[in-house]
């Protein structure tokens, strides 16, 4: 387990004060260099855990280039192991940023950071179902957050609770541990389903 990276790709939040962001190229190269170092140390599998949507493209590119250059298994887990379970626990559709889910998980871990007196719903509605963030058939599109929500909220934090957040953390941790244990017990050939 390596330390987390305290910065990421956040250009889409730059309309909000104090946003610090890396370029996609910087993030991808940084992660590539770390991954190559890990591979040189003998690791055969690298799971990158991502907690920020803006990092997705850079991390996917880094995973691809690490796999290409080091021939090790690489993947990015951005919540996919738990997305369906978490969505079923939430009451809000299109709960994307600072809404019910993120506020619940924050209330469970760091309640002192949540300003409950300022919670306000701002659930986005989109003109096409293919732009809907919660639709599995939606296209991957990019936008500055402030163009969708002047406060940065995309969801309904008023529906959040610490108890819901604790249940969400339990599911996320359980599913991630199960995934890592699956990988631990598989050879690279088994991961790639070589059967010949």
Q: What would the pLDDT profile of 179-188 be if each residue is shown by its tens digit?
A: 999 999 999 8
| C-alpha angle 47-186-170 in degrees, rounded to nearest 5 | 55
Which residues, including other chains, have CB under 8 Å from residue 170's CB and lie 6 or more apart? none
Average pLDDT, the chain: 94
- Note the pLDDT of residue 126: 85
Do residues 50 and 77 lie in contact, with contact meaning Cβ atoms separated by under 8 Å?
yes
Q: Can you list the domains of the chain with their CATH numbers?
A: 11-78 (no CATH), 83-172 (3.40.50.10310)
Cα–Cα dist 123/40, whole Å:
46
Task: Please compute the mean of the pLDDT values over residues 22-27 and round it to a whole number.
Answer: 98
Cα–Cα dist 64/83, whole Å:
23
Count Cβ atoms below 10 Å from residue 124 Cβ, excluding itself: 19
Cα–Cα dist 8/14, whole Å:
12
What DSSP state is assigned to residue 46?
E
Cα–Cα dist 140/156, whole Å:
22
What six digits make up the tokens of 180? 């890592």
- Note the pLDDT of residue 32: 99
189 pLDDT more than 90: no
């Amino acid at each position: 387990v390596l330390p987390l990276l305290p910065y990421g790709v956040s250009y889409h939040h730059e309309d909000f004060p104090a946003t610090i962001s890396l370029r996609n190229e910087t993030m991808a190269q940084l992660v590539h260099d770390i991954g190559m170092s890990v591979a040189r140390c003998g690791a055969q599998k690298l799971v990158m855990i991502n907690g920020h949507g803006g990092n997705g493209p850079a991390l996917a590119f880094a995973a691809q280039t690490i796999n290409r250059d080091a021939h090790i298994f690489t993947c990015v887990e951005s919540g996919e192991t738990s997305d369906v379970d978490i969505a079923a626990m939430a009451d809000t559709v299109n709960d994307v940023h600072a809404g019910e889910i993120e506020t619940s998980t924050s209330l469970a871990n760091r309640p002192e950071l949540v300003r409950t007196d300022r919670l306000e719903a701002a659930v986005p509605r989109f003109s096409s179902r293919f732009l809907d963030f919660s639709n599995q058939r939606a296209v991957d599109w990019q936008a500055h957050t402030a163009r969708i929500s002047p406060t940065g909220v995309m969801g309904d934090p008023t529906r959040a609770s610490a108890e819901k957040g604790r249940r969400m953390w339990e599911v996320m941790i359980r599913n991630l541990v199960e995934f890592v244990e699956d990988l631990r017990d598989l050879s690279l050939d088994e991961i790639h389903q070589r059967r010949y």
